[in-house]
Amino acid sequence: MNDFIVITNGYPSKNNLYNNGFVHRRVVSYLEKGHLGIVIILRPEHKILKKYEYENVIVYEGNGANIQQILLDNSKAKIFIHFVDIHMIKAIRSVKENFEIYVWVHGAEALSWKRRIFNLRPNIKSFLSFLKYIYFNTKQLSFLRKLILNDELNIKYIFVSNWMKEILEIDTKTILNQNRYEIIPNVIDDNLFNYHRKTEKHHLKILSIRPYTSRKYANDISVKLILKLSEKSYFENLTFNFYGDGYLFNKTLRPLKQFKNVHIFKRFLNQSEISKIHREHGVFLSPTRQDAQGVSMCEAVASGLIPIVSNNTAMPEFVTKDFGFLCNDINDFISAFDSIYNNYAEFVEKTKIGSEFMLNKCGNHLINDELKVIGFSIPIKE
Q: CATH code for 4-187+364-373?
A: 3.40.50.2000
Strand (E) or helix (H) holding 116: none
Check residues 104 and 270 and name the one with the higher pLDDT. Answer: 104
| Side-by-side strand order, sheet with 262-266 | 262-266, 239-245, 205-211, 283-286, 306-310, 325-327
How far is residue 59's CA from residue 56's CA, in Å, rounded to a whole number? 9
How far is residue 254's CA from residue 258's CA, in Å, rounded to a whole number? 8
Q: What is the pLDDT of residue 324?
A: 98
Q: What is the pLDDT of residue 35?
A: 95
Q: What is the pLDDT of residue 381?
A: 52
pLDDT in tens, 233-269: 999 999 999 999 999 999 999 999 999 999 999 998 9
Contact in structure between 185 and 370 (CB atoms under 8 Å): no
CATH 3.90.1300.10 fits 200-362, yes or no: no
Check residues 236 and 19 and name the one with the higher pLDDT. Answer: 236
Q: What is the mean pLDDT of the chain?
A: 94
Q: Is 375 left (phi over 0), alpha (psi -120 to 50) or beta?
A: left
- For CATH 3.40.50.2000, the residue range(s) in the chain are 4-187+364-373, 200-362
**57-68: average pLDDT:** 95
**23-43: average pLDDT:** 94
Q: What is the pLDDT of residue 380?
A: 54
Strand (E) or helix (H) holding 52: strand 50-54
Over the range 332-366, which residues count as b (16 or more CB within 10 Å of their CB) and which as e?
Answer: ebbebbeebbeeeeebbebbebbbbbbbebbbbeb
> Is residue 316 scored above 80 in pLDDT?
yes
Q: Taken in order 197, 200, 203, 208, is the CA torsion positive or negative? A: negative
Contact in structure between 284 and 193 (CB atoms under 8 Å): no
